[in-house]
Amino acid sequence: MHKAVQLCWKPPVEGWIKLNTDGAWEGRVVECGRVNVIRGSDSEWLGGFAKCLGICSAFVMELWGVFKGLKLTRKIGVYKGGVECGHYCGSSDIEG
């Protein structure tokens, strides 16, 4: 039995960004997709992407999303931020 949970996005502290990454995994055919969103402390959109990863495990899908999201933050010149992702990753702050 599944339980519905209402979630609320909270912005990062002033001067930091937040990388939110989430995926969808279809267990029968093992097709994976990924969405990453980068937002600033004023909730402004800084970047993001969606990607179909094809066949992979949920764990690989999570790691790929964090890796590509962190590469995108560097590309747009951001060096202080937090990462929120699915249940394999947890949540953490990254600086530098």
- Identify the band that residue 90 occupies on the pLDDT scale cut at 50, 70 and 90: very low
User: CA 70, CA 26: separation in Å to the nearest integer?
Assistant: 25
Residues 6+ apart with CB under 8 A from 63: 88, 89
Tell me which CATH homologous superfamily contains domain 17-95.
Ribonuclease H-like superfamily/Ribonuclease H (3.30.420.10)
In 3D, which of 70, 71, 80, 94 has the Cα closest to residue 14?
80
- Of 17-26, 40-49, 76-85, minimum mean pLDDT range: 17-26
* Lowest-pLDDT choice from 43-47, 59-63, 77-81: 59-63
Whether the CB-CB separation of 68 and 60 falls below 8 Å is answered with: no
Lowest mean pLDDT among 5-9, 30-34, 82-86: 5-9
Lookup: tokens for 48: 């993001």
Report DSSP state, residue 41.
T
